[in-house]
Amino acid sequence: MLPTIKSSTNHLSLSNIFLVFPLFLITACLPIKSQTTIITGETMGTTYTIKYVSENTISKTAIDELLVQINQSVSTYMPESIISKINQAAPEHCKEIDIDIFFTENFELSKAIFEETDGYFNPALMPLVNYWGFGYGDKNRHTIDSNEVNRLLLLTNFYDFEYHQTHLTKKYKAQQVDFSAIAKGYGVDQIAAWLNAHHIDHYLIEIGGELRAKGKNAANEYWRIGIDQPQKNLSQRTLKAIVPIKNQSVATSGNYRNYRKLGTKEYGHIINPKTGFPEEKEIISATILAASCAVADAYATACMVMGFDKAKRLIENNTDLMAYFIYKNKQGLIATYQSDDLELIEID
């Protein structure tokens, strides 16, 4: 069984992070039966879009206020956020920092998935993310010291962070926690809970490429999304597949757009928590479908660092997940894998 997360009807969560945009929103070209309302805005260092079909209306101001509120809890880019205070505090001072429901839910779900993926999903990697220049650390580093990588790897034991209802403790001052690989999905889930509470039954929510859908669109069809061909140039986006979303969430993780060049080599932004180095295994893009967008978000990241064989076994052994992988096979050719029960149209 997948870990579950509480759905607060008046709360959201987010973190400002670099975002991969692997999904297109697909609009059916059929006669409109009901009015579609679209709300857009900015959050998490990217944009959000809410499409819904209903006679009821929702307030963009209310959504934005919720996003701002939760940003103050788990954004690593806000110096006064709860997570930033914990990351900068000495261990003996962490107990003085009160945590809220947003932080708690992100932490508890992260820990559950950390354990279920044997540590391949690890929110304690922030020291290494910063060292490699993908966080808020030095982005001008031109060489990597493997000894320093190994030293920082010792700071990434997620079990060194302990939850105590009102506060979080850690073992070393240099340790940092980061929910960037789950927060977008969590934010999508909380918007969904808000819409449900306001009797909106047909919607598609997207934050930086992570999505959740309920009901059908104005043409009375299931909402559909497109999965990108793995390409570095965002202006040359083309579709690899189209997926109908039937009351599900979708998240995609990929290493092909957020990368750094050190010397003559390019490194992707997804760090392997077992080695401390950016992952270079077979999977190029991992799309996960699940009931919860936060769960899909986290497992997509975990699959990227597991490698194809382990990721495939993980999906096949978990009936609550479906997956679509774009990967390099043993012959070095681009191949795809999809769960048996996943409805999908590949575009050649």
Q: What is the pLDDT of residues 92-105, one digit of tens each?
A: 999 999 999 999 99
C-alpha distance across the termini of the chain, in Å: 35
* Tokens representing residue 76 in the block: 């690593």
- The amino acid sitting at 249 is S
pLDDT band of 344, cuts 50, 70, 90: confident
**Which range (8-17, 40-49, 167-176, 267-276) has the least confidence?**
8-17
Pairing of strands 334-338, 345-346: unpaired
Is the Cβ–Cβ distance between 71 and 78 less than 8 Å?
Answer: yes
Look at residue 7 and tell me whether its pLDDT is greater than 50. Answer: no
Q: How far apart are the C-alpha atoms of 193 and 63, rounded to whole Å? A: 12
- Name the residue ranges covered by the structural domains of the chain: 23-346
Average pLDDT of span 61-68: 91
Query: What pLDDT, on a 0 to 100 scale, did the predictor assign at position 132?
Result: 87
CATH architecture of 23-346: Roll (3.10)
Q: How far apart are the C-alpha atoms of 329 and 278, rounded to whole Å? A: 19
pLDDT band of 138, cuts 50, 70, 90: low
Query: What pLDDT, on a 0 to 100 scale, did the predictor assign at position 231?
Result: 63
Query: What pLDDT, on a 0 to 100 scale, did the predictor assign at position 289?
Result: 98
Average pLDDT of span 287-291: 97
Q: How far apart are the C-alpha atoms of 115 and 202, rounded to whole Å? A: 34
